[in-house]
Amino acid sequence: MVQFSSQTARRSLVSGVIAATLLAGVSACGSSEGGAEAASQQQMHTARVEVMRATPTRIESVRDLPGRATAYAEAEIRPQVTGIIESRHFTEGAQVEAGQELYTIDSAEYASAVESAKAALARAEATAATAAETAKRFKRLSDINAVSQQSYDEAVATQKQTEADIAIQKAALQRARIDLARTTVRAPISGQIGRSSVTPGALVTANQATALARIVQLDPIYVDLTASSSEMLKWKQDVAQGKVRTTGDTAAVPVNVHFENGTTYPETGRLEFSEVSVDQAAGTVIVRAQLPNPDGLLLPGMYVKGSFSAGALNDVYLVPQKAVQRTPRGEPTVLVVNAEGQAEQRMLTVQGTQDGDWIVISGLSEGDQVITSGFQSVRAGAPVDVIPSNTAAVTAMRDNPSEVAPE
Q: How far apart are CA 235 and CA 318, in angstroms?
A: 20
Biggest CA–CA distance in the chain, Å, is 199
For the segment 199-203, the average pLDDT, to the nearest whole number, is 95
For the segment 172-195, the average pLDDT, to the nearest whole number, is 95
Q: Is 55 in the same domain as 112? A: no
Say yes or no to pLDDT of 395 above 90: no
Which pLDDT value is given to residue 389? 63
Q: Is 281 in the same domain as 381? A: no
Q: How many domains are there within the chain? A: 3
For the segment 98-105, the average pLDDT, to the nearest whole number, is 96
Q: State percent of the chain over pLDDT 90.
A: 41
Nearest to 264 by CA among 239, 237, 291, 228: 291
Output the domain CATH number for residue 238.
Answer: 2.40.30.170
Judge whether 320 and 357 are in contact, CB under 8 Å.
yes
Judge whether 258 and 302 are in contact, CB under 8 Å.
no
Is 16 within a domain?
no
Nearest to 286 by CA among 50, 59, 65, 15: 65
Buried residues in 271-309 as b, exposed as e (16+ CB within 10 A): bbeeeeeeeeeeebbbbbbbbebeeebbeeebebbbbbb
Is 227 within a domain?
yes
Q: 250-279 pLDDT, tens per residue?
A: 556 789 999 988 899 999 988 887 766 677
For the segment 357-369, the average pLDDT, to the nearest whole number, is 88
Q: Report the range of poorest mean pLDDT among 3-12, 144-153, 344-353.
A: 3-12
Helix, strand, coil % (nearest 5) of the chain? 35, 35, 30
Is 10 within a domain?
no
Is 21 within a domain?
no
What SS3 class is residue 32? helix
Judge whether 59 and 314 are in contact, CB under 8 Å.
no
Q: Is 333 in the same domain as 253? A: no
Q: How confident is the model at residue 396 (pLDDT cuts 50, 70, 90)?
A: very low
Stronger pLDDT, 245 or 262, i.e. the higher one: 262
Which pLDDT value is given to residue 404? 43
Stronger pLDDT, 341 or 9, i.e. the higher one: 341
Is 15 within a domain?
no
Element (H, E) at 234: helix 229-240
Nearest to 236 by CA among 279, 287, 270, 306: 287
Q: How confident is the model at residue 30 (pLDDT cuts 50, 70, 90)?
A: very low
**Domain-terminating residue out of 271, 288, 311:** 311
Q: How confident is the model at residue 229 (pLDDT cuts 50, 70, 90)?
A: confident
Q: Is 166 in the same domain as 94? A: yes
Q: Is 80 in the same domain as 205? A: yes
Judge whether 229 and 281 are in contact, CB under 8 Å.
no
For the segment 148-162, the average pLDDT, to the nearest whole number, is 88
Judge whether 359 and 353 are in contact, CB under 8 Å.
yes
Q: Which long-range contacts (CB under 8 A, 24 or more apart) does 162-168 make?
A: 162/124, 162/127, 162/128, 162/130, 162/131, 162/132, 163/128, 165/124, 165/127, 165/128, 166/121, 166/124, 166/125, 166/128, 168/124
Is 89 within a domain?
yes
For the segment 152-177, the average pLDDT, to the nearest whole number, is 93
Q: 47-95 pLDDT, tens per residue?
A: 888 888 888 888 877 778 899 999 999 999 999 999 999 999 999 999 9
Domain that holds residue 330: 47-59+314-406
Is 244 within a domain?
yes
For the segment 210-227, the average pLDDT, to the nearest whole number, is 92
Q: How confident is the model at residue 351 (pLDDT cuts 50, 70, 90)?
A: confident
Q: Report the range of poorest mean pLDDT among 42-51, 62-71, 123-132.
A: 42-51
Amino acid at 27: S
What SS3 class is residue 371? strand
**Domain-terminating residue out of 311, 330, 355:** 311
Say yes or no to pLDDT of 42 above 50: no
Which pLDDT value is given to residue 205? 95
Judge whether 399 and 57 are in contact, CB under 8 Å.
no
Q: How confident is the model at residue 405 (pLDDT cuts 50, 70, 90)?
A: very low
Q: 281-320 pLDDT, tens per residue?
A: 777 888 889 999 998 899 999 999 998 877 677 788 989 9
**Domain-terminating residue out of 243, 278, 311:** 311
Q: State percent of the chain over pLDDT 70.
A: 79
Q: Is 95 in the same domain as 200? A: yes
For the segment 147-167, the average pLDDT, to the nearest whole number, is 89
β strands within 252-356, DSSP E? 254-258, 269-274, 284-291, 303-320, 325-326, 332-337, 343-347, 349-354
Q: Is 189 in the same domain as 224? A: no
Across the chain, mean pLDDT equals 81
| Residues in the chain, total | 407
Say yes or no to pLDDT of 142 above 60: yes
What SS3 class is residue 44? helix
Residue 113 main-chain phi, psi, to 5 deg: -65, -35
Q: Is 81 in the same domain as 145? A: yes
